[in-house]
Amino acid sequence: MIERYTLPEMGRVWSEAHKYELWARVETLVVEAHAAAGTIPESAVEPVRKAAPPTPEAVAAIEAVTQHDVIAFLSAWADNTEPREAATYVHFGMTSSDLLDTALALQLTEATDLLLEKADKLVGVLRDHALAHRATLRVGRTHGIHGEPDVWGHRVADFAFGVARSRDRLRRAREAVGVVAISGAVGTYSNIDPAIETFVAAKLGMTAADVSTQVILRDGVSEWVSALAIMATVLEAIALEVRHGQRTEVRELWEPFGKGQKGSSAMPHKKNPIISERLAGLARIVRAQVVPVMEGIPLWHERDISHSSTERIALPDASIAVDYMLNLTIRLMSGLVVDPDRMRHNLDSTGGLVYSSTVLLELVEMGLERDTQAYPLTQRASMKTWETGRPFRETLREEAATAGLAIDEARLDEATRPERFVQRLDGMFEKLAKLS
């Protein structure tokens, strides 16, 4: 992922330097486990424990010759070990995938913890914003067309629960990737005791794989990146709502626009929804990682490395992008400008047509037959309002008089109060208030 979208903490998780720190940590735990079991001399533990992880430059120099990253790492780390003979017992009984998959599990769980912390914060921001706007009337839309009265808090509440579910989904996926495998070549423990794997897993606070061949089956990693893709797409849904609300014809919502900010190099009047559009673009990047990672589930026999090159790109890119997106969405919703007056103006802009379904039901309850009287009457009045721009109540009264049908004006007044449409949302807002 390019630097522009990489925040420092998440960038460090996926840095080469940190990767080698984790590799050294895993290898050290294996040495400690072997020493405790009496497999290797106890004297080897402290020198290995004290040896500084090699720099990326040192590993790269050796890998240019060996064409094998793990061997290059082990050689560079041995150069930092005093006495060097202690490094003889590093990687004892292991195969490369033992190190790679276990260290990757550490990176994935570290990345997930950063994401969960931000997801928690965003849930709180969305919850509080929705509760603050539980009475802010606006028109609800379907297909982009005005439907019925609603409140802005209702729309945001949907996003709050969606992000909360995405967070919980990611938390479950953390368990799926927090798996250790130290089982040797083709996963048969031929040169290493299963107790070593159990020891390392316990020290890392993870679980040992139920079974591994030479690699851990990639269904867990696929679940994790799929959870990220769902999270990213929920964030895009929030962004899409803001993008629509900021359109000139709508003007109900505005992204935060800082002092000195410029909207266009050519048109000084512009205030563009750049945050929301950036979120939409990055969501595509995250979704694009799902299929390549999933294709790492079927490998040849006990192991090949066709998944490796994919994961080196896809896993950092997906988590770095979602980290940035969460940060951006928190900023978006914390500074979002809501225009209640404009929302009410838009609600009233169709002259009352948003009450047509309620009027239809009221007419039926007044005794009109639905198909032959109430529906035709309501539809004729609605079409006349569309064509002339006159208020729906006027055209309804005219059409009723023309048809010789009696309607109760007082009942229709009560039925078409916009507040009436949202009074049953109280239970939802009570549930929202408890969301954490």
Distance (Å, whole) CA 162 – CA 1: 26
In terms of C-beta density within 10 A (0-12 exposed, 13-18 middle, 19 or more buried), how is residue 268 classed? Answer: exposed
Distance (Å, whole) CA 394 – CA 366: 19
* DSSP 8-state assignment for residue 14: T
Measuring CA to CA, which residue among 111, 159, 134, 101 is closest to residue 321?
111
Q: Is 143 a catalytic residue?
A: yes
- Find where tokens 């083709």 sit: 186
* DSSP 8-state assignment for residue 265: S
Out of 43, 264, 306, 309, pick the active-site residue: 264
Distance (Å, whole) CA 219 – CA 222: 5
Per-residue HEC secondary structure of 358-380 comes to: HHHHHHHHCCCCHHHHHHHHHHH
Question: Which residues have CB under 8 Å from 350's CB, separation 6+?
Answer: 146, 385, 392
Measuring CA to CA, which residue among 23, 43, 20, 21 is closest to residue 89?
43
> Do residues 303 and 212 make contact, with C-beta atoms less than 8 angstroms apart?
no
Q: Is 212 a catalytic residue?
A: no
- Residues labelled as active-site residues: 143, 264
